[in-house]
Structure formats: structure tokens, C-alpha cells
Homo-oligomer: A and B are copies of this chain.
Amino acid sequence: MLEAVEQELKRQVARLNHPSARLFQEMLAYHMGWSGEGAGREAGGKRIRPMLLLLTTAGCGADWLPALPAAAAIELVHNFSLVHDDIQDRSEKRRGRTTVWKRWGMAQGINVGDALFVLAMQAILDVSHHYDASTAVRAAGILHRGCLDLTRGQFLDISYEKRQDLTIEDYWPMIEGKTAALLAAATQLGAILAGAEEERQGQYRLFGERLGLAFQVLDDMLGLWGDEALTGKSNAGDLVEGKNSLPILYGMARKGRFAQRWARGGVCPEEASELAQVLREEGAYDFCQREAQRLTHQALEALQHARPQGEAGKALEALARKLLKRQS
């Protein structure tokens, strides 16, 4: 299935083929992990969203092959957002490789993201080759909604910068947009293309959404207290860059020792490990753990209600459990 996703992604990106734009294609292929220094499976990321989509289609008892363009579409949207996110955050590394904007400049970076977005829009309508046109329009509508939520989450994330008055209530709408929206779209799309009835679609959508929220909370925890050898990134990063992560927002709202230090700004890498410890002592770790468990429970409950079938059903649950127990 993963191989089929990769082939479909390549087929979609090949739309860009044009004699005058070889370097342009190369930029996209580089970001997707297919070419350039450090290319390979790792460089492309986990392809979680397309896998969730296809497993949902299969879990509803339908053939997943015709859903491939939708799977590619959701992964292309995800990658468009990563390329722009790296520019917005001025991140120089992504999956251990130099980011697109760092390599070819900010202007080309913005344009590469834009092209990935267009390709995603073309991919989703390719489902009209196997399903009727009204299903294609509906599927595109779901993806568009996810994309709009994504930009809203991104707006919130950027607008939170340098704010000292954030609370935990500010966290959820941000990650609902930034992380959960696309996972919710993935599982809903999978169910729609399988022809599942409305209520079941809703359960799958809820499963994707709660999984996305739990996923992000865990990501935030790993960013502060993860095993650096496994996560492959420094535990100082989120503190130094001032990321709006759940433990940090929890600490700000607690108004204790962490909040006092945080308000002064400019955390340096050397004091990060102590600050992470302060956060743990103030209860941030336990709080995040409880939230992650609550959301995971909701996700698995929604999945149970959706009654996924056969091998795909088991794989879906296994994928969810694996994502939520991951160390990297």
C-alpha cells in the first residue's frame, strides 16, 4: 500500500513535467524525498495521512485502489503546508535535510509550496475517473474544508508569537487546524470513497480528528522530554524557538517558576533541560499525559463505533496505537 501511495504521488507530481521547468520539478522531488542529498524513504516522512485514508476505505470493505488519488492529494496538502511552515518558522532542517527555502531561496520556496497545493487540488479531482463526478466534488469539498482549517490554525500559531497571556484554551483551536483537520479529512475521505453511510463517515472523521489531537499532544511531549537519540532532534528546540506547545502553554497558565522565566524571553539551549524539568515538576507532564490518554480513548472509541472490517480494520487500530505510543 505504501509503495502504491509513493507511485501515485510521483504520478501526480509528474503533472509539472515541462521542458522549461526541470529545476522546478527537481525542487518538488527533493522535498518529497525522491531526489537530491539524503533522498530515500526516511526523507519523505511517514505518509501517515494517505495510509489512514486507504486503510479507512479498505476497513469499510471497499477496494482501496481507486482511492489512491485522494490519498496522494492529502499527502500533497500536508507537504505544501510543511514547505510554507518551514519558511514561516525559518526552519533550516526538515527530516534531517536542508529545507527547500534554505536551499533555493525564500521566493522559490513559497512557489514550491504553491505548486504542491495545486497538484493536491488536481489529484483530488482525479477520483472522478473512478467515482461519479458528484462524489469527486464532495471529496474535494472535504479536502478544501481541511485546507481552510489548516490556514486558520496557522494564523493562530503565528499570531500567538510573543504573547504572554496564552491559556490552554488557545491551544486546542490551533492544533485542531494545524494537525487534526487533515487527519479528520483523511479518514472522512476514506469513508466517503468507500460509500459508507453518513453516520459511519462521522465516526471515522471523529477517529481521525481525535487521533490528530492526541498525536500533536504526544509530539509536544516528545519535543520536551523525548529521547533525543530516538526523536532525532534536540529537546531544547521548542523552548528556544518559543513553540506554542501544550506543556509550554500549561506552564504559562500556571504562572509559577516556569512562567516567570518564560516572560523574560530568550531561553538559551543550556538552560532548556532545567526548564523542562521545572515544567514537569509543575505538573505539565502529567497534564499532557492525561490529555493524550483522554484523546486516544476518544479516538479508539470512535473507531470502534465505525466497526472497521478485516485486516485493514486491524491495521487501522494498530496504526493508531503505534502512533500514540511512539518514541520518535
Contact = CB atoms under 8 A, between A and B. Distances in A.
Interface string A124-154: 0100100011101100110010011001101
A18 B119 CA distance: 27
B24 A155 contact: yes
A125 B144 CA distance: 10
Contacts of A88: 106-107, 110-111
Contacts of A277: none
Q: How many copies does the complex hold?
A: 2
Interface in A213-238: none
Nearest to A135: B133
Nearest to A141: B125
A121 interface: yes
A84 interface: yes
A290 interface: no
Interface of A: 15-16, 18, 20-21, 23-24, 84, 87-89, 105-108, 110-111, 113-115, 117-119, 121-122, 125, 128, 132-134, 136-137, 140-141, 144, 147-148, 151-152, 154-156, 158-159, 173
A122 B152 CA distance: 15
Given A128-B137, A134-B133, A152-B18, A122 B110 contact: no
Q: Is the interface of A mostly helix, strand, loop or mixed?
A: helix
A256 to B, nearest CB: 27
Given A84-B110, A152-B21, A158-B107, A147 B133 contact: no
Contacts of A18: 152
5 contacts: A20-B156, A24-B151, A105-B158, A111-B158, A122-B144
